[in-house]
């Protein structure tokens, strides 16, 4: 597909849309169609996030887009379904597929937009069968050269002030880079000021347990025990949610007599069972969180690594005001680089920052600068693709 | 002074001693005699620590050593006094100055040696007048080039396993390098397995507050409030110790009706008052700690930076089984590099490691590897000297 085709498409859509779907010349030819599918999804997300595709814009039927792009109909259809599940698009009977309201990522902090109403009609995308187990970091995959190069660039170009004490939310440069990355790669709606950097997902959960949820939390019955401990150590009672082949049985939440303050979920890849939360359940639990004003904590465990499954975006976009998103580089880079993050609903940011204290107490800022450089220069994405290829070659793990 | 003179000295001492006191050719000529003094102290500490000067070895009278080395008598005398205050040497009426018992740094963990008895007769060295205030990190001094170089070397040469999860005590490579550095530069007796790496002195104190001292701690009345909070947050009652021109009034500890579990002191540089703990008080409190089986926590705040004062070694060597030593790179390098350490009496190591959990939860291991390289290659020492020169040039601050 050429830029011309996309220009034609953009003209039909009435927007100045240009999506670059050229395949990466360095990429192996094997898996080329999966690459194109992934690029289409990424480019559509970006176009929606930065306003090139405005809320309410009607997308062409997937059949005509597929013909236009020379892709299989099923490919475009599954991309649409994925973006619907992630909340970027809305499908209504008779109205076709349109860009959902409230999808443009806020450019000013404090203007998060109440995206709630636009996600009430979310269709169920077909569930993909998965076959993977709990992954362990592959230590031979640490991108030594890229890390050194990024560290050099980041340290050389940093202002002197970078080497002084840092505010509790961490490096601004990394928060800016990460907001862009998470929007692009995971569909997360994050303004940099909604991000609080931590040293790991565990430290992020402990911070939430300490500052916000000291009474009651619900969590997947088969979740990681030390994640539950992050809350119980500060006094919270943690109730189990059953897990089946569609992920956590969130429908049971509506039956609870006592509503928990927060619900901890791993929609991308439940550990250790390995299922991901089915799209219809994502919609149900996001709607329930909004209706009952409850917070969901989305641990995007393994979210960046795709193994052999279809990519599934983060759930956060379904209810940005009620979903706290957390992740880290412990699998994507290495557990020896201690960088994690929270993307918080704006209303929670000051409470969590206050709980951290005057300064960032633990996280290495020089590492944060190096990671920021990796993201800014595309080196991080390239590494993620390399790890995915490695996993593919190893039989999908 | 030449190597030959030192060989002659070594022959008289009956040991194979070689101390390199050649001045650094790159160093400014100003302050050359202070450099030689400092080198003499460092070389004697090293020779004692690694066993070249065995416990019980009698040193030549300071007058003859001064003549031999072409140094002023007062210089050698003050080096002897300093090493006596630090516990490396013992002075007894009629017996001259000898290497104290238990000074050789244990090469096998679990064999710390009970150095106690040899420190009972500690002479009071003349107190040095100080003039410095609470220092702030100078962010323009971050050694960018050295950091990048060390990061490149450390990452390139690391085994793959360095990028996997790490034990709670942190990088072994840094613990080995740091044990050598602290012995050499601060007179600390540390086997690498007595070191637990943390992200800062504050996190080190919190770890102690959480795992060991939940009931009662005494601390300097004018200490940093968030250091006291490190203990009160886990339930300990913190009692104040008065501070005067000789530092904390530790003689008052003997009058306490209820003995605290631990006493937090900043012997090197009390913040914010700026005094250091007088040698006779160091001896008194170390003796009291041993006699009452109480733990002292020595926060070696600013210990590496000398400003315009005479260097004073760490107190830890006076009672290695009863003094917990803590420090960090937040002043020497930057608060953006989050690396701190605890040197623990061997009996406490497993409790503190257990409290940290399965793995190092917060500290960046790649940064730890870079710091290890800086120490191994002498780059860290060079940086410390550069910072000292900067401070000197700025009027002693």
Higher-confidence residue of A293 and A303: namely: A293
Read off the pLDDT of each residue in A127-149 and give the average, rounded to a whole number: 65
A7-11, A294-298, A344-348, range with the lowest pLDDT: A7-11
Per-residue CA distances from B358 to A53, A201, A227, B196 (Å): 47, 15, 13, 14
Question: What span, in angstroms and rounded, lies between the C-alpha atoms of A115 and B97?
Answer: 79
Q: Which of A144, A202, A360 sits opposite B361 (nearest CB)?
A: A202
The radius of gyration computed from the CA coordinates of chain B, to the nearest angstrom, equals: 20
Show Cβ contacts of residue A360 under 8 Å, excluding neighbours closer than 6 positions: A165, A166, A167, A168, A169, A170, A197, B338
A152 contact residues in B (CB cutoff 8 A) = 148, 151-152
A60-74, A95-109, A197-211, B280-294, range with the lowest pLDDT: A95-109
Chain B residue with the nearest C-alpha to that of A197? B362
**Residue found under tokens 């929609």:** A267
The model's confidence at residue A75, banded by pLDDT at 50, 70 and 90, is confident
Per-residue CA distances from A102 to A186, A270, A287, A392 (Å): 17, 28, 15, 36
**Residue found under tokens 């205030």:** B133
- What chain B holds in terms of domains, given with CATH numbers, is 5-99 (1.10.10.10), 140-396 (3.40.640.10)
Helix (H, G, I), strand (E, B) or coil at A242: coil
B211 contact residues in A (CB cutoff 8 A) = none
Give the pLDDT confidence score for residue A18 in this predicted structure: 45
User: How far is B364 from chain A, CA to nearest CA, in Å?
Assistant: 5
pLDDT along chain B (397 residues), means of 10: 46 44 57 74 76 76 78 83 76 76 45 26 26 51 95 96 92 96 90 97 96 96 85 94 90 85 89 77 94 96 61 87 96 94 97 91 96 95 82 53
Pairwise CB contact (< 8 Å): A151 & B151: yes
* Report for A95-109, A239-253, A268-282: range of highest mean pLDDT: A239-253
How many other CB atoms are found less than 10 A from the CB of residue A347? 12
Per-residue CA distances from A11 to A66, A76, A104 (Å): 17, 19, 20
Q: Which residues pair with B45 in a beta bridge?
A: none
Long-range contact set of residues B41-47: C-beta below 8 Å, sequence gap at least 24:
B41/B79, B41/B82, B41/B83, B41/B311, B42/B184, B42/B185, B43/B19, B44/B19, B44/B79, B44/B83, B44/B88, B45/B83, B45/B86, B45/B88, B45/B183, B45/B184, B45/B187, B45/B313, B46/B183, B46/B184, B47/B15, B47/B17, B47/B19
Q: What is the DSSP string of A99-159?
A: EPTT-SPPSSTT-----GGGGSS-PPPPPPP---------GGG--HHHHHHHHHHHHHH--
Phi, then psi, of B79 in degrees rounded to 5: -65, -45
Give the pLDDT confidence score for residue B11 in this predicted structure: 45
How many other CB atoms are found less than 10 A from the CB of residue A308? 15
Model confidence pLDDT, tens digit, residues B121-174: 222 222 322 323 334 557 888 999 999 999 999 999 999 999 998 899 999 999
pLDDT at A105 over 60: no
Do residues A344 and A196 make contact, with C-beta atoms less than 8 angstroms apart?
A: yes
- CA-CA-CA-CA dihedral for A201, A207, A209, A210, to nearest 10: 160
Show Cβ contacts of residue B164 under 8 Å, excluding neighbours closer than 6 positions: A137, A139, A334, A335, A336
Residues 326-365 on B with a CB inside 8 Å of A are 334-338, 357-365
Helix (H, G, I), strand (E, B) or coil at A342: strand
Q: What is the DSSP string of A60-88?
A: PPHHHHHHHHT--HHHHHHHHHHHHHTTS
Please determine, for the modelled complex, whether the ipTM score is greater than 0.95: no
Question: What span, in angstroms and rounded, lies between the C-alpha atoms of A229 and A223?
Answer: 11
Tokens standing for A5?
A: 């085709």
B170 contact residues in A (CB cutoff 8 A) = none
Torsional sign, CA B73, B75, B79, B82:
positive
Pairwise CB contact (< 8 Å): B336 & A166: yes
Question: What span, in angstroms and rounded, lies between the C-alpha atoms of A71 and A85?
Answer: 21
Nearest to B89 by CA among B41, B18, B38: B41
Question: What span, in angstroms and rounded, lies between the C-alpha atoms of B381 and B181?
Answer: 9
Pairwise CB contact (< 8 Å): B226 & A361: no
Give the pLDDT confidence score for residue B50 in this predicted structure: 67
Q: Which residues pair with A340 in a beta bridge?
A: A198, A328
Strands B216-220 and B262-265 turn out to be parallel
Higher-confidence residue of A306 and A360: namely: A360
A167 touches chain B (CB under 8 A): no
Read off the pLDDT of each residue in A299-319 and give the average, rounded to a whole number: 75
**Residue found under tokens 């956060």:** A316
Give the pLDDT confidence score for residue B337 in this predicted structure: 95
Helix (H, G, I), strand (E, B) or coil at B240: strand
A361 contact residues in B (CB cutoff 8 A) = 199-200, 202-203, 338
Do residues B375 and B176 make contact, with C-beta atoms less than 8 angstroms apart?
A: no
Q: Report the run of H or E that residue B203 belongs to, with start and end.
A: helix B201-211
């Amino acid at each position: 597909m050429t830029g011309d085709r996309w220009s034609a498409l953009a003209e039909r859509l009435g927007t100045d849309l240009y999506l670059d779907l050229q395949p990466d010349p360095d990429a192996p030819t094997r898996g080329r169609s999966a690459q194109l599918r992934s690029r289409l999804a990424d480019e559509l997300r970006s176009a929606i996030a930065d306003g090139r595709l405005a809320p309410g814009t009607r997308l062409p039927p997937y059949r005509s887009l597929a013909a236009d792009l020379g892709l299989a109909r099923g490919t475009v259809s599954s991309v649409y379904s994925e973006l619907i599940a992630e909340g970027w698009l809305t499908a209504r009977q008779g109205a076709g597929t349109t860009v959902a309201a409230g999808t443009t990522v806020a450019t000013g902090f404090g203007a998060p937009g109440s995206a709630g109403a636009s996600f009430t009609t979310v269709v169920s995308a077909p569930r993909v069968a998965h076959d993977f187990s709990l992954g362990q970091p592959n230590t031979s995959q640490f991108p030594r050269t890229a890390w050194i190069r990024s560290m050099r660039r980041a340290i050389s170009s940093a202002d002197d002030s970078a080497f002084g004490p840092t505010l509790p939310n961490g490096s601004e440069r990394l928060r800016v880079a990460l907001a862009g990355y998470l929007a692009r790669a995971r569909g997360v709606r994050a303004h940099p000021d909604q991000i609080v950097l931590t040293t790991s997902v565990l430290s992020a959960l402990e911070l939430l347990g300490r500052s916000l949820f000291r009474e009651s939390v619900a969590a997947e019955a088969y979740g990681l025990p030390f994640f539950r401990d992050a809350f119980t150590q500060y006094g919270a009672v943690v109730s189990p949610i059953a897990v089946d082949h569609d992920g956590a049985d969130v429908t049971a939440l509506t039956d609870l007599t006592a509503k928990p303050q927060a619900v901890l979920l791993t929609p991308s890849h439940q550990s250790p069972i390995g299922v991901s939360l089915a799209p219809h359940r994502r919609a149900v639990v996001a709607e329930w969180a909004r209706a009952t004003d409850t917070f969901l904590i989305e641990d995007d465990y393994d979210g960046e690594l795709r193994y052999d499954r279809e990519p599934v975006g983060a759930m956060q976009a379904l209810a940005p005001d009620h979903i706290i998103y957390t992740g880290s580089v412990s699998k994507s880079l290495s557990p020896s680089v201690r960088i994690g993050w929270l993307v918080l609903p704006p209303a929670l940011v000051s409470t969590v920052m206050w709980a951290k204290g005057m300064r960032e107490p633990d996280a290495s800022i020089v590492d944060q600068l190096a990671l920021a450089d990796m993201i800014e220069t595309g080196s991080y994405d390239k590494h993620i693709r390399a790890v995915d290829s490695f996993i593919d070659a190893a039989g999908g793990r």
